[in-house]
Chains A and B, each alone.
Chain A
Amino acid sequence: MIDFGTVVPKVADALFETLYMVTAAFLIAAVVGLSLGIFLFATRPGQILGNRAVHFVLNFVVNIFRPIPFIILLVALTPVTRAIIGTSIGPSAAIPPLAIAGAMGIARVAESNLVAVDPGVVEAAEAMGARPLHILFGFVVREAFGPLLLSLTFISISLIDATAVAGAVGGGGLGNLALTYGYQRFDWAVMALIIIVLIVLVQCVQFLGNWIAKRFID
């Protein structure tokens, strides 16, 4: 039987660690990723700030990070993490690699959300005499807002997923707990509880994302 008295506080602590890592990494990733995504879109040839060279470089940078499996990125970024956080162990140390991976993901999906906006809307904005930056934010980003929120939701769930990997290198959180109890001690009761907590967490995030996005899509 599960000894709730000792297990629940452990799971609760791990959940808070996970939430801390995901929230911090997500906020950084959203700011960096959205800026990068908008810039990637705007520098496309024929777009408002069309610049083939800048677009190529940005695209290249995003593409460097995208194919690297997160666990490898996590290890490879250890010197960077140590320089920023001061340590490469613990929940805080997981934040820089999570933020970088998240930002690159957001940049890519944000760009495709913006590309999907009807070019006719841009044409109408130009015909009305709107300024380039107004066209970018007041028309294109505004039109893509609902899909952008769904993309952010998608990436935030990927980050929950990635925190479990961070647990493998001492990052803490639910992933770390699952590894120590499930993999090393074969305590299936704790495993089951962690899985349930993760399912509920992901469902809540997705529900919240859908709910906010719906207000902009309909």
Chain B
Amino acid sequence: MSDRSSASAAAASSAAHEQTGPAGASATTPGTPATPGTDRIVLSGVSKTFTTKQGATTAALDDVNLSVGAGEIFGLIGRSGAGKSTLLRMINALERPTSGTVEVDGVDLAGVTGDRLRRLRHGIGMVFQQFNLMNSRTVYGNIAVPLQLAGMKEAQISARVSELLDFVGLGDKAFVKPRQLSGGQKQRVGIARAIANRPSILLSDEATSALDPQTTGDIVALLRSVNEEFGITIVVVTHEMDVVSRLADRVAILSAGRVVETGEIQQILSRPAHPVTAGLVESYTRTALTEAEKTQLRGEFTDHRVSVTVDDTLVGTPVLSRLARAHAVDFSIIQGGVARVKNHPYGQLSLALYGEDRAVEAFVAELGAQAEVIRW
């Protein structure tokens, strides 16, 4: 891990570069366009400690600083118990920080209570892992609840609910009870309910964690279209790297209540800087070698060994073979893979290099100027 740190500065600058490129969501937003540089949600120095009955205190969150921009899909990822849900619930004040401030559209939530808080919550939708639908109401009734709370007239409610049912693809299920629906359908109702009042922010608390991979894909696509069609800012909490990689523009990685890394999704996936991030990426994609595997492979491949981080510079251009030919170096692939996130390739190739020592040195140096290369 330590030999990667030298390249992290370069990684950060290239990530900043990528922001100017077509960034999926914002390019196709027909609704209210997101104003660049406007932060909708700002968390500063947020800590939360819980006191047990025995009087012991545990820190659920420790000095968290984050900001989420308008129209962005922001991922909060970490293992169970990392504090992701606690953090998410602070954005609609279901949870209050022990210290630090939470600001939504420039308003410090600390002073917001009673009716003001309820009005604020009308503008922030939320979807849950267990859907949290009312079994005593039909699908229609569930989606109508937030509209009734907002004081909408019955005729308008009816029109709005059918509009929402069409959007989530459940037009024929209006008068069915939630218990008769599949998990994916229940979450569609949950999403329809959450966006019923046309909120500007949507909070998603492990919305796909109770669903199978196929259904997860459908819900991810639905959340994407919520963002693209209505310009709703979405904060997604999940432990599934797959979900954030398909959904999020930016990601924060939480571990034991601390944000250990924040960045663009491509940057996080291709150059994870923190061991926890690397672990999450590792379990998502097995293109990189673990230290244990490297130790074992050193015996099998006795020449020179490198791991090359793959991005746009190496895909679709014959850089690798051209350099190999120029330096009279041969290579074989030990392990690796290249996948695409938001239409950008990322991945890692581990290569064994054959040739004169000096030629290999020159090859590695020149390749290193264009991509992140680690010798091991």
**Are both chains from one complex?**
yes
User: Which residues 132-187 in B have Cβ within 8 Å of A in the complex?
Assistant: 132-137, 145-146, 149, 177
The reply to whether B136 and A120 form a contact with Cβ atoms under 8 Å apart is no
Cβ–Cβ < 8 Å partners of A123 in chain B: 94, 128, 132
Distance to closest chain A CB from B142 (angstroms) = 9
Interface size on A, residues (CB 8 A): 19
The stretch of B118-126, B293-301, B308-316, B340-348 in contact with A is: B118-126
User: Which residues 105-129 in B have Cβ within 8 Å of A in the complex?
Assistant: 117-122, 124, 126, 128
Given A118-B132, A146-B136, verify A126-B94 contact (CB < 8 Å): yes
Distance to closest chain A CB from B146 (angstroms) = 5
The reply to whether A127 and B94 form a contact with Cβ atoms under 8 Å apart is yes
Q: Is the interface of A mostly helix, strand, loop or mixed?
A: helix
The reply to whether A130 and B126 form a contact with Cβ atoms under 8 Å apart is no
* A128 at the B interface (CB under 8 A): yes
C-alpha spacing A126/B132, complex, angstroms: 12
Distance to closest chain A CB from B236 (angstroms) = 16
The reply to whether A128 and B146 form a contact with Cβ atoms under 8 Å apart is yes
Interface centre among A121, A131, A139, by most chain B C-beta atoms within 10 angstroms, is: A121
Q: Can you name the residue of chain B whose Cβ is closest to the Cβ of A124?
A: B132
Cβ–Cβ < 8 Å partners of B215 in chain A: none
- A123-140 contact mask (Cβ, 8 Å, vs B): 1 or 0: 110111111001000010
Q: Chain B interface: which size bin? A: 20 to 34
Q: Can you name the residue of chain B whose Cβ is closest to the Cβ of A218?
A: B177
* A216 at the B interface (CB under 8 A): yes
C-alpha spacing A131/B113, complex, angstroms: 12
Q: Could you write out 23 A-B pairs with CB less than 8 Å apart?
A: A118-B130, A118-B132, A121-B132, A123-B128, A124-B126, A124-B132, A126-B94, A127-B126, A127-B203, A128-B145, A128-B146, A128-B149, A129-B117, A129-B118, A129-B119, A129-B121, A129-B146, A130-B118, A134-B149, A142-B134, A146-B136, A216-B136, A218-B177
The 7 closest A-B CB pairs, nearest first, are A129-B121, A120-B132, A129-B118, A124-B132, A127-B126, A128-B146, A129-B122
